[in-house]
Amino acid sequence: MTVERTYDRVTLPHLGNQVLRMGVAANGGLESEDITYAAERGVNLWLYGRSFGKATAPLKDLLAREREKHVVVMLGTFVLTARGARRTVEKARRELGIDTVDLFLMPWLGRTSRFSPAIQDALADMREAGLVRGVGTSIHDRERAGRLAADSILDAFMLRYNAKHPGAETDVFPHLAKRDPIVISYTATSWRQLLKPLQGAQMPPWPGAHVGAAMPPLTAPMCYRFVLNSPHVHATWTAPGNRQELDENLAALDAGPLSAEEEVWVREYGKQVKSKRKRDYV
């Protein structure tokens, strides 16, 4: 399937839907009416799960009116058995009034969690039966993610990727070409860490700014733009705390890509944040 991409929109491999490259997770603090508002702003990629109660009614409404336009990604909860995976999907179908969940994500495949043949069969069976259109996982173990990207039944990966943690570039992205799974990143702001002033940051001026111009910390839109600059990331999640943050973050898409110099700057800032300890934050 041809993947078409502009800076703000992409056709998702395996599903074929065209989505805005910023998907919304409602568990950061958004109200129900913010979901409808986000949809009006063009958002059509949604994270859904147990703690996303406020999103249920507006999402159900959107899906009843324009099912084809939206992609619902269901994130399972903690430990999942084969039966638990199916129950989770059935519940989402009931709650959202839909026949098919677009993507079902295993909640966690860490270093120690077993991706048992029974779970793999359950996922593949759900896909075959049309209960889900694709299956994937949210995963922190990048090396395992790389192996699964190259060879597994999984259609999608939800990965940590940001200026402080760019390790997916070496551990996962080189393994994508073989099967072209969907990549949706999270933690663009590194749990807000990239947004906090960093004492003693030794940064050059922001590209184009005059010497001595005040710059750090990063803004949230810059964090999302860093992530969206990657050709390997189909979309990023955003979990804004309120409507104002939602607007700010969506503006990252309007701002367009970071220039090469800006990307280098943000990468360097992330590196410095990583090398600092907690007490270095003001």
Ligand X SMILES: NC(=O)c1ccc[n+]([C@@H]2O[C@H](COP(=O)([O-])OP(=O)(O)OC[C@H]3O[C@@H](n4cnc5c(N)ncnc54)[C@H](OP(=O)(O)O)[C@@H]3O)[C@@H](O)[C@H]2O)c1
Stretch near ligand X under the rule CB under 6 A, chosen from 11-19, 119-127, 188-196, 206-214: 188-196
CA distance 127 to 104: 9
What is the C-alpha separation between 226 and 142, in angstroms, rounded? 19
Stretch that binds ligand X, among 34-42, 96-104, 142-150, 242-250 (CB under 6 A): 242-250
**CA atoms 256, 260, 261, 266: torsion sign:** positive
Residue 120 vs 219, nearer CB to ligand X: 219
Q: Are 238 and 188 in contact (CB under 8 A)?
A: yes
User: Residue from 46, 173, 186, 269 that binds ligand X (CB under 6 A)?
Assistant: 186
Question: Which of 193, 196, 206 is closest to 163 using CA atoms?
Answer: 193
Stretch that binds ligand X, among 5-13, 21-29, 91-99, 117-125 (CB under 6 A): 21-29
Rg (CA), the chain: 19
Q: Which of 153, 195, 201, 215 binds ligand X (CB under 6 A)?
A: 195
- In one letter, which amino acid is 51? S
Cα 35 from chain centroid (whole Å): 17
Shortest Å, Cβ 249 to ligand X:
5
Q: Does the protein bind ligand X through residue 193 (CB under 6 A)? A: no
Contact characters 106-145, ligand X, x per CB under 6 A: -xx-----------------------------x-------
Instruction: Retrieve residue 60's tokens.
Output: 């159900």
Give the angle 119-125-127 at the CA atoms, nearest 5°.
Answer: 110
Pairwise CA distance, residues 60 & 67, whole Å: 9
> Is 187 among the residues that bind ligand X (CB under 6 A)?
yes
Using CB under 6 A as the criterion, what x/- string covers residues 44-63 for binding ligand X?
---x----------------
DSSP assignment, residue 67? G
Residue 157 binds ligand X, judged by CB under 6 A: no
Residue 134 or 240: which CB sits closer to ligand X?
Answer: 240
Q: Which residues bind ligand X (CB under 6 A)?
A: 25, 27-29, 47, 107-108, 138, 186-189, 191-192, 195, 220, 237-241, 245, 248-249
